[in-house]
Amino acid sequence: DGGITQSPKYLFRKEGQNVTLSCEQNLNHDAMYWYRQDPGQGLRLIYYSQIVNDFQKGDIAEGYSVSREKKESFPLTVTSAQKNPTAFYLCASSNREYEQFFGPGTRLTVL
């Protein structure tokens, strides 16, 4: 089955720790995205990548970092610099401007 997988589903982190969220796709899509979903705020774009080895900051990139070493993978690191990291994180992929396909999400809680 083609799709997007995110792991883990739930993640707990202590303050001051970095944590990496995994996102893998087998849809052969060039573009991949990370969003943060908070109640009443919709999806806000953190980072996106249109092609391997290239990525751009979205609207709320501060405190986050990404890499795109392989077409299939786009991991997101939530660093200790992120002031309010507790949220639901969604990864998506697409072929350029077309529709996005979303993963199941990772719920991160900072203790």
Partner 1 sequence: AQSVSQHNHHVILSEAASLELGCNYSYGGTVNLFWYVQYPGQHLQLLLKYFSGDPLVKGIKGFEAEFIKSKFSFNLRKPSVQWSDTAEYFCAVSRGHTGGFKTIFGAGTRLFVKA
Residues in touch with partner 1 (CB under 8 A): 31, 33, 35, 40-45, 48, 50, 56, 58, 90, 92, 94, 96-100, 102-105
What is the spatial distance between Cα 17 and Cα 30, in angstroms, rounded to a whole number?
Answer: 31
Q: Which is nearer to partner 1, 15 or 99 (CB)?
A: 99
Measure Cα distances from 46 to 1, 35, 75, 105 in Å.
Answer: 27, 5, 12, 14
CB of 18 to partner 1, least distance (A): 26
Q: Please work out, in degrees rounded to the nearest 5, the angle formed at the alpha carbon of residue 63 by the alpha carbons of 73 and 29.
A: 20
Q: Which is nearer to partner 1, 13 or 30 (CB)?
A: 30
CB of 110 to partner 1, least distance (A): 23
CB 10 within 8 A of CB 89: no
Q: Which is nearer to partner 1, 16 or 39 (CB)?
A: 39
What is the spatial distance between Cα 39 and Cα 21, in angstroms, rounded to a whole number?
Answer: 20
Q: Which is nearer to partner 1, 98 or 111 (CB)?
A: 98
CB of 82 to partner 1, least distance (A): 20
CB of 2 to partner 1, least distance (A): 13
CB 59 within 8 A of CB 76: no
